[in-house]
Chains A and B, each alone.
Chain A
Amino acid sequence: MSFVRWIFFIIVLVAAGCGSITDDLTPSGEDKRPEVVAGSTGHEVGQLSPDFTASDTLGNPVTLLSKLATADAVVLYFTMWCPVCDSHMSHIRSDVMPDFPTVTFLMVDYVTGSVSAAYSAQTSSGYADFSVLADVDQAILDQYQATMGTTVVIDSSSTVLMNEDYKDGTRLREVLEGLP
């Protein structure tokens, strides 16, 4: 039995030593953000965002440029209707949106796959008052290399001002407060 015990112990150690580990064991606070060429097109902060077209959950076609034409900025929040997303969206609704009436907030549903399913998820989650885009083929998700909780701010000149996780919303407020 002692042989079995040691074999098991070795398996545990090997398992612990392998795998995609990870920066978490020794976290870094070094700023490694890439340099960006101003005026280039892309999803990084400082780049110009390409336009996109999608349907909202009411079936209306929406383009980025059309939204930018009537607002100081557009905020995109990528949701998969999860607890984290819900907490973020609730915070956006109560703590951010009221202070920035000239900014357009769009939630981007990239998981449900259809306008009707996105509308169903939106209403059952309690966000019927939000503007939600149905990113049916994940084109917007891919365009910004986003994932759950990613928050993108684009100003009226199509420049990306923010593209990162929502976290506690402080960074989003700072960016919006810096709008001209």
Chain B
Amino acid sequence: MEAWVSRINMRLTFWRPVLITMAFLSFAPSVWAASCCGGGSATSLILPKFSKAMVDMAFDIERYDGFWNDDGDHVPDPPGSDLKQYRLNLGYAQRLASRWQASVSVPYVWNNNRYSALKSSTDGLGDSTVSLWYEAFDGIQCVWKVKSPKDLMPAAYFGASLTIPTGVSPYDDVENSFDITGRGFYRLDGSMLLEKTIYPWNAALQLSYGTNFERSVNREYGRYVEPYDKKLGERVQGTISAGYTYFLESMNSLTLTAAYSDLQEDHGEIDGRTDPTTGFRKRSVAGILAFATMDRDWIFKLVWSHAIQQDGWGENFPTTDIMTLGMSHVFR
């Protein structure tokens, strides 16, 4: 799920071209693979216990369909518009010690926007994320039967993620909002992930708090302006998920997971003043189907994340559907 946090950038990164610039913030339950038991749930780019490394690749197709305004009312896009963003996300996780692991994820973003009066197709690197996770447990926390209170203990992870503005932001040398693939700010997120599997069921809870770092701005969409300092708002995200695993005869497994996520970002600041036009909220649901091989070394995922296009489910944010195809491989 930390991936949810990391992906936020990408999504926002583009919103119609800019917001599209805003970015990128939302979430599709990530396609990141394996959690402590070796795969299947909708968690972050987190290594299974006792494995050495993992590579992950995922392709997102995000379709924009209206937005919530400041009052939480859902507003349609202009007539004749077709707004999409595609992302190829590459991730790598490495075990550092028995309880420590680190990961990096890098997205490449394609913006494809069509309005009645104009079309735009641009691409570029998105904002990248590096993460460090601590596992507060030593053994596998997945059980088949609860025989004692100890069997109820979840796997607990505590992590920190730094988003690095490697994407193209409004403050780069760009021509217009359609070129945007990143937000342009460093952000530090602290996360806690609790995960428990009692086969065939699993459940997870992730809570994250992120702070954006203030930066100087002297250019907007390629035009130099009077310099100012800008800071995006603090961010809170919570995600809950529950899943069921079905074991095939070959002992390969299929896991179906449902998730609900709530993301909020507070108002930002310009030269220390509150910027009332920024900040947002997005609530979304997701379904994840994961196939894992018997040894849990390969995991394939199909994710559908849906923002409910009704009043009251978000504020100041685009409503999108995100389809993700992903694959992870674990090195033991």
Contacts and interface: CB of A to CB of B under 8 A. Distances in A.
Interface in A87-139: 87-88, 90-91, 109-114, 117, 120-121, 124-126, 136-138
A5 B329 CA distance: 9
A32 B78 contact: no
B77 A165 contact: no
A60 interface: no
Interface string B158-191: 0000001111111111011100001011000000
A23 B173 contact: yes
Contacts, number: 215
A180 interface: no
A82 B277 contact: no
A178 interface: no
A46 interface: no
Contacts of B77: 81
A149 B177 contact: yes
Nearest to B165: A24
A127 to B, nearest CB: 10
A169 interface: yes
A69 interface: no
B70 A23 contact: no
A23 B172 contact: yes
User: What class of interface size applies to chain A in its complex with B?
Assistant: 35 or more
A21 to B, nearest CB: 5
A112 B171 contact: no
B218 A32 contact: yes
B16 interface: yes
A77 interface: no
Contacts of B19: 82-84
B316 to A, nearest CB: 5
Most buried by B among A19, A23, A82, A163: A82
Nearest to A86: B69
B277 A147 contact: no
Given A29-B217, A29-B227, A113-B80, 19 more contacts: A8-B92, A12-B92, A15-B90, A15-B108, A16-B128, A24-B167, A24-B184, A25-B165, A29-B229, A33-B225, A81-B78, A83-B19, A83-B68, A83-B317, A110-B118, A111-B116, A113-B118, A117-B78, A147-B177
5 contacts: A80-B16, A91-B276, A126-B73, A136-B117, A168-B275
